[in-house]
Amino acid sequence: MAAEALQPFVCGGSAACFASSVIHPIDLTKVRLQLARELGQKPEAFKIVQDTIRKEGVKGMYAGLTAALTRQATYGSARIGLHRTFSEKLKAMNGGNEIPFWQKSLSSMAGGAIAVCIGTPFDVALVRMQSDGQKPPELRRNYGHVFNAFSKIVKSEGILSLWTGLTPNIMRGMSMNLGMMACSDQAKQMVVKFTKDKDSLQTRLLSASVGGFCCAFLSLPFDMMKSRLQNMRADPKTGLMPYNGVVHCMTRIVTEEGFLALWTGFGAYYFRCAPHAMTILLTIDTVKKYYGSAFELKSI
């Protein structure tokens, strides 16, 4: 049945969009923290929030929201839906029993990699729209909304520029899904031994917090490189890009800013990942109930 096959994608995407709306100001702060040093600014979260509100108003904290929502509608739906679909297939092959962690890991990383290929154009638009207000007026791109961003990027840089930073983004997507989906699934399997209820709020919160930490720690270095690559523009004097690829980007960050710079903004990133994961995992069950009721699905 089509409704049953689409269930993980529709419910996962809906929960991801809701979660993205909730944590968008934190995500914007994280991106601006990652780009602060490039602009000669100090990467201080509270100062960035204060400057954003002072210069752009409260609505400035929601810059790029259209790109964030369209990104989650594509990338979020795919990474959650594919992982759940792959996991169910593996469980069926395992006689209906729980699959081992290595299979959960493969399922989550495969889902994350495929989803990134679909969602990277929205990610490029999101990073640029979130960082625009941080720059001097003459360096701003001034995209009106996500599709305006697509149009301007294609006209000035070519269609392939919509997939700028794809390599670190795939690595980020794989590590993020590994942390959020596989690690939280494994944590839930362990936590339920103590709570005795896999659907309790306590079980879901504990497993989601573990997934949020693993997600943040594993994926932040790739997220840092992705943000730098997607936001870069040619030097007006030399015409050269600051980075010529993911390896060059990582090398410059480590040599010029130090190894730990790869985890710049970890606090903001963690408080983005953990609430995002928790909101998705808590919301998705409610969405499933309404979805199952609407399509009269016996088991959802």
Whether 299 shows a pLDDT value over 70: the answer reads no
- Assess whether pLDDT exceeds 50 at residue 300: no
pLDDT of 138 strictly over 50 = yes
Q: How many CB atoms lie within 10 A of CB 267?
A: 15
Residues with Cβ within 8 Å of residue 95, at least 6 apart in sequence: none
Report pTM: 0.77
Report pLDDT for 283: 84
| pLDDT the model gives residue 2 | 83
Q: What is the CATH number of domain 2-294?
A: 1.50.40.10
**Cα dihedral: 135, 140, 146, 149 (round 10):** -140
Instruction: Provide the mean pLDDT of the chain.
Output: 89
pLDDT (mean) for 118-137: 92
Helix %, strand %, coil % of the chain (to 5): 80, 0, 20
Predicted pLDDT at 282 = 76
Asked if residues 212 and 165 have their Cβ atoms less than 8 Å apart, the reply is: no
pLDDT at 20: 92
Identify the pLDDT of residue 233.
87
The residue that leads in pLDDT, 45 or 198, is 45
Residue type, 282: L
The per-residue pLDDT for 298 is 59
79 versus 298: which is more confidently predicted? 79
Instruction: For residue range 211-233, list pLDDT tens digits in order.
Output: 888 888 999 999 889 889 988 98
Report CA-CA distances (Å) from 153 to 28, 123, 126, 167.
21, 13, 12, 19
Query: Residue 146 pLDDT more than 70?
Result: yes
Cβ 167 vs Cβ 160: under 8 Å:
no
Average of pLDDT values for 161-188? 89
Are 289 and 37 spatial neighbours (Cβ–Cβ below 8 Å)? no
Query: Over 70: is that where the pLDDT of 113 sits?
Result: yes
Query: First-to-last CA distance in the chain?
Result: 13
pLDDT in tens, 252-287: 999 999 999 999 888 878 887 778 877 887 788 788
Read off the pLDDT of residues 15-44 as tens digits, 9 standing for 90 and up.
Answer: 999 999 999 998 899 889 888 888 888 888
